[in-house]
Structure formats: structure tokens, C-alpha cells
Structure 1
């Protein structure tokens, strides 16, 4: 359900209406905000859609542009900006005026049509382009106070990672890479915990930091070797060990 209804006049505050729409949807979710230019589908009956969503909303933002209070349209009974505000009043929906520019003065009763004079008694929010992030956050906070249900729909900040586990590997790798911490039950495979050196998971022997010597004799050379290394091995039967000597 659309909790927030944005009321604005085309040509005098519509840019801020779009900015509010985007910022509040980002904070509270797409379904939390109604703005006619985006929310009414093509072919829908315009008056019915406007009034239906307005009556179901929990707060109405009235965007006040520089010419808003003095325009002739606001004094006509068929003006939709005027009709939406009066409908919100009749339905007892909270109305928040949003002054769209630093040049916009606070509303004054004598400058408003008599039916809308009560708007001058409402605390207004102000938006300034050079403090946009701060002002949009304050408007969102004010809406949270008016509509507690928005707290359940509030989205996490974009730079806050979602809860969960993240794993990564770098460099060359072949076969299966597994990262594990605690295991319960049976695990198919081999688990290595707390290893402090290389280990081999394939067939064959492993020799780490030591030469492999086997056979009757061997020559082991470590470091730099300049020139040749020559060695000869002979194996002679020891007759005495064969028991041939008396």
C-alpha cells in the first residue's frame, strides 16, 4: 500500500516531487510512495486512481514551489492540486508542506485561498539543493514519526553489506576449493584444520624442506654449483657376509 502521497503542481515543484519520490522509494520501498506521473498506469481512470490512492495514504507531502501560493489555478475548485489537499483534510490525513526552494517564503494565511488558509498553521519542511542529502533525510525522519508503519519497510543503507558469508579465492586453482569452520555429522572428503605448511592431497610421497635419499648411496648438492659433479657407485658382494669364508 502507498503510505506517502506526493501532491505537486506541474511546472512549479515537479522536479522536487520527482526527487522526493526517488529518495523515499529508495528508503522505504517502491510500494510506499505514490506520485501520479509514475504510479498511474496507462489507460487507468485518472480521477479514480488519484482519489483512491490519496484516501488510502497515511501522509500527504504538498510540494510548495515559488509561485505556488499566488497561482490562479489554486483558486479554482476544479484544480487537482487544491482538490487533493482538501480531500486529505476531509479524510484527516496528515499534510506536510515542503518548501521547494530557499526563495520560497513560509505560507501566510492572507496569501492563500480561504479554504486552504489552515496550511499556514502547519509546520513545513524545507528542501535546499545544496543540503539535499540532509534535507531528504530529515523529511524521511518526519514521515517515520507520522507513519510508524514505514519503519518496517525501511531499506538498509546501500553501503551496508547484507548478513551472510562471503568467500573468495585468488590465484590459480584447479579442482574443488572448500572453506570450512565448524562441521557436524559426516563429511565426505578430507578436512585440514590448522595446517602450518604445505600438504599434498594426491597420491605419492611428499618431501618438504629435506632431500630424498635412497639406494646404496647418493650425492646431495645444495646451493650454487660451478663445474661438474661426478660420482661412481659400485656394489661388491662381501663373501664373508655370504658365509663363504671359513
Structure 2
């Protein structure tokens, strides 16, 4: 079942539509995005498939390019761009206008046929190829907030893994000065890493989770912590 139906006019937004479809399919899965050229199987009557696709969707993205409102077909009852939007309104499906290009403005009511005038009351998004990455993310984030089914399969959200409870700090062959841990007062020299490892001068105060060392560490330096830092340590 598609969750997003992409509505566009050939010659006035099909390239943007293809880019948006590709990005949304990669993020949510191709079966959740209805795009006529990919979603209608060969030999299938397109008229019934299109209407059925609109009715089963949760959101219709209406792509509006620079020449969209002035296209003569928009005044025809048989125009498929118009019919898809009208069907979404009749079925109480959310319609989001997507303004294609930096200079494309929202249509005024008197520029639209009466059945589409509700479109001017719908909050819009924008897609500009010069701001491609940001605009695609905004469109995807908006859909994930509005459609619970999309939020559940949002691949971008699932890649943001929580920090591990165990910290691993490693220093390989190190020359110079390194710091880690809490050190108060005099400190000493350790001779367990293929040579002396001096952990710092006296009277050095470092934060939690740090060590100070100076000299050559040819064999490597490793330290593990079994708990993460308290949350209050990050609030500064």
C-alpha cells in the first residue's frame, strides 16, 4: 500500500518528481511511494490504477512548477493532474503543494478552477534543485512526522544509533603528549610500553575519562570504561 502519491505534470515538474520519488523510495521503501511511471504495471488500465492509488494513499504531494497554474489542461475535467488532486480532496486525503524552483509562488484562488481552490489553503513545501539535499530532507522529515507508517520504516531515523554504554580509548604508536583521565598531585612514570610513558607533570587536573601521557608509546595505549559519562557532564 503506498503512503505517498506523487502528483506532477509532464513538462512542468517531472524531473523534480523523479528526484523526489527516488529520495523517498530510498528512505521509506519503493512500495510506499506511488509514482505512475513505476507503480503501474505494464498492460494495466492506468485510469483505475491512478484513482485507486490516490484513495489508498495517506498524503498526496502536488508538485507545482513555474507554468503549472497557466497550463490549459488544468481547466479540463479530464486532466489527470486535476483529477488526482480532486480525488484526494474528496477522500479527505492530505494534500501538500510542493513548489518547484526558487521563484515559484503559491497559486492564488482566482488562478485555479473551483474544484482546486482548496489547494491555496494547504501549507506548502519547496523543492529547488540548487538546495536539493536540504529540501529533500525537509520533505522526508515532514512525511515521517505526518504518517505513522512512514515513521516506523524511516531508514534515516534508524541509522542514528544511541551511544554505547562502554567507551574504548586507544592510542597507537604515539609520540609527544597525550591526555586522558583525572590526575591530582604528583604523577609517575610507567615503563610498560616499550619504553617510558610519562603520564604528565605534577599538579595536573584533568576531567573524567582522560589520561595525560608524554613520550613514545610504540606498543599502543588502551583504556575501557564500563559506563558512559553522566548526562550532567554534557550540559555546559
Greater strand proportion: 2
CA distance in 1, matches of 2:126, 2:90: 25
Residues 176-231 of structure 1, C-alpha deviations (whole Å, 9 max, x = no match): xxxxxxxxxxxxxxxxxxxxxxxxxxxxxxxxxxxxxxxxxxxxxxxxxxxxxxxx
Counterpart residue number, 2:106: 106
CA distance in 1, matches of 2:62, 2:81: 9
Counterpart residue number, 1:17: 17
Q: How many residue pairs were aligned?
A: 161
Counterpart residue number, 2:115: 115
Residues 95-154 of structure 1, C-alpha deviations (whole Å, 9 max, x = no match): 000001112112211111121111111111011112111011111111112211101111
Counterpart residue number, 1:80: 80
CA distance in 2, matches of 1:65, 1:29: 26
Which ranges in structure 2 are unaligned for 5 or more consecutive residues? Answer: 162-236
CA distance in 2, matches of 1:64, 1:126: 9
Q: CA RMSD in A?
A: 1.7
Secondary structure of 2:155's counterpart equals coil
Structure 2 vs 1, CA of residues 117 and 2 (structure 1 numbering), >3 Å: closer, same or farther? Answer: same
Give the superposition deviation at 1:43.
0.4
Counterpart residue number, 1:92: 92
Moved over 2 A (4+): 156-161
| Structure number with larger C-alpha Rg | 1
Structure 2 vs 1, CA of residues 156 and 145 (structure 1 numbering), >3 Å: closer, same or farther? Answer: closer
Counterpart residue number, 2:29: 29
Which ranges in structure 1 are unaligned for 5 or more consecutive residues? Answer: 162-246
CA distance in 2, matches of 1:139, 1:156: 13
Give the TM-score normalised by the residue count of structure 2: 0.65
